[in-house]
Amino acid sequence: MKKQQWILTAAAIVLFCGLYFFGSTINSKKPVISAASTSEQAVPNVSTQDILTKSKEGLNPAQLQKLTQLENSVVRGDVHNQQMHVYHQLASYWMDTLHNEEIGAYYTGEAAKLENSEKNLTFAAHLLLDNMLATGDAAMQHWLATQAKELFEIALKLNPQNDSSKIGLGACYMFGNISENPMQGILAIKEIADKNPNNIYAQMMLGLGGVQSGQYDKAAERFLHVLKLQPNNIEAILNLAQVYDRENDKTNAIKWYQEALKYIQVPEARTEIEARIKSLQ
């Protein structure tokens, strides 16, 4: 799965720098990802209808009319295939026209359930998971994790041996605030990493888990291992730089921020990283 290569898009790099550098400068308590601690936060339990209703706020009448038309377009005949087609249309409209990836990912998942294809289920589940890791809204995070968890579980019924789905499911527990025991997610991913230390996806998730729990030394070990396997993995580089930054290891933080600049072409991102390097010198 290409997403497991952890190559950030330009938009993701801008988001990364915006969340980190524009937050409150460097906060040693702030995780690299936006996942909140399950044990520390009470997450509002919002329904899918609540999420959809809130997401429609601010849309213009033409956009609302288009959505209503799509939502009510299944009437008779081959309802199953019609519904799949409508879900794909809704996913495309939310993503491409309304630029709301979270809701687009949700409808991609709804279509995948009807298709019952492992490939489509895992694609949709990872799409939801990616958005869950990127959002800073606790309620949205919980909802996305819940949606992704359901899809991973269905996919694993079709193929119980898929390590990628096991890791994704574990990540939902680790970062999604869907369980009072996130260790069940960590242990599932660690089992895969122990079995196959070269599984980059597992190593990255465990690294992010180390950051979330404040175990920066262990997180650094995971990211360094990823970079031995994949030296140009920009997400591992950026996370490693931030880990050293939080540990006040200025020499290594500068080293890895400078390494990141070799791969980042987005002007806004480069400016923020260069400013951070200067502040550390």
Task: Tell me if the pTM is above 0.75.
Answer: yes
> Is 20 or 227 the better-scoring residue by pLDDT?
227
Predicted confidence at residue 212, as pLDDT, reads 86
pLDDT exceeds 80 at position 241: yes
Q: Which of 2-6, 99-103, 175-179, 241-245 has the lowest mean pLDDT?
A: 2-6
Please give the structure tokens belonging to residue 198: 């070269």
Q: Cβ atoms within 10 A of the Cβ of 178, count? A: 21
H/E run at residue 226: helix 216-229
Predicted confidence at residue 44, as pLDDT, reads 64
What is d(CA 166, CA 50) in angstroms, rounded to the nearest whole number? 29
The amino acid present at 188, given as its one-letter code, is A
Domains defined along the chain, listed by start: 45-165 (no CATH), 180-281 (1.25.40.10)
Predicted confidence at residue 43, as pLDDT, reads 61
User: How far are the Cα atoms of 4, 78, 112, 216, 274 from residue 128, in angstroms, in the given order?
Assistant: 14, 28, 12, 27, 32
> Is 16 or 145 the better-scoring residue by pLDDT?
145
For residue range 26-39, list pLDDT tens digits in order: 333 333 343 334 34
Predicted confidence at residue 46, as pLDDT, reads 84
Please compute the mean of the pLDDT values over residues 64-93 and round it to a whole number.
Answer: 88
Contact 165, 120 (CB under 8 A): no
User: How far are the Cα atoms of 26, 44, 139, 216 from residue 47, in angstroms, in the given order?
Assistant: 34, 10, 10, 35
What is d(CA 190, CA 186) in angstroms, rounded to the nearest whole number? 6
Tokens 């909802």, residue located: 143
Please give the structure tokens belonging to residue 223: 């990211």
> Is 61 or 77 the better-scoring residue by pLDDT?
61
What is d(CA 59, CA 132) in angstroms, rounded to the nearest whole number? 23
pLDDT exceeds 70 at position 11: no
The amino acid present at 149, given as its one-letter code, is K
Please give the structure tokens belonging to residue 135: 């959002």
Q: What average pLDDT does the structure give for the chain?
A: 84
Q: What percent of the chain has pLDDT over 70?
A: 83
DSSP secondary structure of 103-170: HHHHHHHHHHHHHT-HHHHHHHHHHHHHHHHH---HHHHHHHHHHHHHHHHHHHHH-TT-HHHHHHHH
Please compute the mean of the pLDDT values over residues 161-177 and round it to a whole number.
Answer: 93
What is d(CA 226, CA 95) in angstroms, rounded to the nearest whole number? 31
Contact 122, 152 (CB under 8 A): yes
Q: Which of 40-49, 78-87, 211-220 has the lowest mean pLDDT?
A: 40-49
pLDDT exceeds 50 at position 21: no
The closest alpha carbon to 111, from 133, 72, 77, 119, belongs to: 119
